[in-house]
């Protein structure tokens, strides 16, 4: 994939980021919807895919489709090499220490469930506590509730303020000898709030408490260094970061992977099976039961290669500029209220419009070619915190432009016309 650079075009690129050239890498962005050019602002739900990722997936199925690790024929060997190369690419992408700390799963949700089940089964007992925050996605709430029901542990929740920021001063008093884990989102999918993970990990490290981070909304927007963050577990999904659906990653420090029991049984997670006893494979394979999404894993590697081919820092700066422009434009609309105004925000603008249900906003915007999300965003406690049933959410990626924001604003003004 060629490097992207050059002079910015009029459509909103920064000086070192040519957004028009990048947009040409994403075939879906060329289409029209209801006769209007597509404006895709639903990136927090899933991102679009560059042609190189699509080609990678097609190449696997058309040239070397085979199962991995145990085959001795050429196709299997080639598939295995490509899949394990993708694991190495992920390790480098998040600066993990070893490839063995990278576990392939189906997505962020399965990664968190793996930790809740495996870590929880081994280390959580009645009366223990798991610390969460009030801005978690359901995927970082429900698994811990299930664990609590099974073990007798309970959840403690760090509150957020009216601006949508974590009240971090509330964390340390919650940490006691009963605390077994802190589970926190890196970036809120409903507010865009960026949480100070390294600071939270520092508080936890003083008491020997492990930290799990839901990174699904962070990896498309920020450089993530798991060793600098000093977290024990970091979960994310390929499809949020320009890769395929059905593939995700759990990063876990090697000592935890050694001590945690398997999450599922079967296939390559074993080294020896008898009816008397099963011996498990070494991590990460101990946690990778069954045939994985091989093509998807390889395509995740291609997505990382694509991100390496552009100036990611310039892309992030461009995206931040578009996001700030969007916040200003939306705030100027009469009757529109942005939900959350955190000091540091990534990717997300959630809002409500007086007298209009978010689903109606989304429906009318769709007729204008603008794709957003409307609902509770699998973050119902946040909706309850702000006293709203749902929000409309526009979410930004680096291929979005200020013109996309202008189209969003025109669409919202059309909504106001329809509803008076």
Residue 231 appears among annotated catalytic residues:
no
Residue 14 banded pLDDT, cuts 50, 70, 90:
low
For the residues 403-408, what does the mean pLDDT come to?
A: 98
* pLDDT exceeds 60 at position 44: yes
Write down the pLDDT at residue 245.
97
Closest residue by Cα to residue 382 from 202, 197, 190: 190
Annotated active-site residue in 378, 380, 388, 409: 378
Q: Maximum distance among all alpha carbons in the chain?
A: 73
Q: Residue 37 carries which DSSP code? A: E
pLDDT number for residue 409: 98
Would you state the torsion angle of the CA atoms of residues 106, 389, 34, 328, taken in this order, to the nearest 10 degrees? Answer: -100
**Across-strand partners of 99?**
none
pLDDT at 15: 53
pLDDT tens digits, 380-391: 999 999 999 999
Averaged pLDDT for residues 137-165: 97
Are 4 and 311 in contact by the 8 Å Cβ rule? The answer is yes
Contact in structure between 308 and 261 (CB atoms under 8 Å): no
Non-local CB neighbours of 173 within 8 Å, separated by 6+ positions: none
* Per-residue pLDDT at 286 exceeds 80: yes
Q: Is the pLDDT of residue 12 over 60?
A: no
- List Cβ neighbours of 186 (8 Å cut-off, separation of 6 or more): 194, 195, 197, 213, 214, 215, 217, 218, 222, 224
Indicate the pLDDT class of residue 279, thresholds 50, 70 and 90.
confident
CA dihedral sign, ordered 406, 410, 413, 415: negative
User: What single DSSP character describes residue 238?
Assistant: G
Q: What is the mean pLDDT of residues 145-158?
A: 97
Q: Where does residue 32 rank: exposed (0-12), middle (13-18), buried (19+ CB within 10 A)?
A: exposed
Token pair recorded at residue 138? 């359901």
CA distance linking residue 214 with residue 233, whole number of Å = 9
Nearest CA-CA partner of 103 in 304, 252, 227: 252
Q: Evaluate if pTM is beyond 0.85.
A: yes
**Which domains, and CATH codes, for the chain?**
19-49+310-419 (3.90.1150.10), 64-308 (3.40.640.10)
Question: How is residue 167 written in tokens?
Answer: 């009240």
What stretches of 130-195 show up as alpha helix (H) in DSSP? 142-151, 171-174
Model confidence at 5: pLDDT above 60: no
Region 251-277: what's the mean pLDDT?
Answer: 89
pLDDT at site 13: 46
Q: Specify the DSSP class assigned to residue 30.
A: G
pLDDT confidence of residue 123: 97
- The confidence score (pLDDT) of residue 183 equals 98
Rounded mean pLDDT of the chain? 94
- Chain centre to alpha carbon of residue 55: 23
Distance of alpha carbon 371 from its chain centroid, rounded? 19
């Amino acid at each position: 994939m060629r490097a992207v650079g050059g002079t910015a075009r009029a459509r909103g690129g920064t000086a070192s980021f040519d957004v028009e050239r990048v947009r040409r890498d994403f075939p879906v962005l060329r289409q029209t919807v209801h006769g209007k050019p597509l404006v895709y602002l639903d990136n927090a739900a899933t991102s679009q895919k560059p042609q190189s990722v699509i080609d990678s997936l097609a190449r696997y199925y058309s040239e070397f489709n085979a199962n991995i690790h145990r085959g001795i024929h050429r196709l299997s060997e080639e598939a295995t090499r490509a899949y394990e190369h993708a694991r190495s690419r992920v390790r480098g992408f998040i600066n993990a220490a070893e490839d063995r700390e990278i576990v392939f799963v189906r997505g962020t949700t399965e990664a968190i469930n793996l930790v809740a089940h495996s870590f929880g089964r081994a280390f959580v007992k009645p009366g223990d506590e798991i610390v969460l925050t009030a801005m978690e996605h359901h995927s970082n709430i429900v698994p811990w509730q299930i664990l609590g029901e099974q073990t007798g542990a309970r959840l403690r929740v760090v509150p957020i303020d009216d601006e949508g920021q974590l009240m971090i001063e509330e964390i340390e008093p919650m940490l006691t000898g009963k605390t077994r884990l802190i589970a926190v989102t890196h970036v809120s999918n409903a507010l865009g709030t960026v949480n100070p993970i390294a600071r939270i990990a520092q508080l936890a490290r003083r008491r020997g408490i492990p930290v799990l981070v839901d990174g699904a909304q962070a990896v498309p927007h920020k450089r993530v260094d798991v060793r600098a963050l000093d977290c024990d577990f970091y979960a994310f999904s390929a499809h949020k970061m320009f890769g395929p659906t059905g593939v995700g990653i759990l990063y876990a420090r090697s000592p935890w992977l050694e001590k945690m029991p398997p999450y599922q049984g079967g296939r390559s997670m074993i080294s020896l099976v008898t009816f008397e006893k099963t011996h498990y494979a070494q991590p990460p394979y101990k946690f990778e039961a069954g045939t994985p999404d091989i093509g998807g894993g390889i395509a995740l590697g291609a997505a990382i290669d694509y991100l390496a081919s552009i100036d990611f820092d310039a892309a992030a700066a461009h995206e931040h500029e578009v996001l700030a422009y969007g916040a200003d434009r939306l705030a100027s609309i009469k009757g529109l209220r942005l939900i959350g105004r955190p000091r540091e925000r990534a990717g997300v603008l959630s809002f409500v419009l007086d007298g209009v249900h978010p689903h109606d906003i989304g429906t009318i915007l769709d007729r204008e070619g603008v794709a957003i999300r409307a609902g509770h965003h699998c973050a119902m406690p946040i909706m309850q915190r702000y006293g709203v049933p749902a929000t409309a959410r526009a979410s930004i990626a680096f291929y979005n432009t200020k013109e996309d924001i202008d189209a969003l604003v025109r669409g919202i003004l059309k909504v106001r016309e329809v509803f008076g």
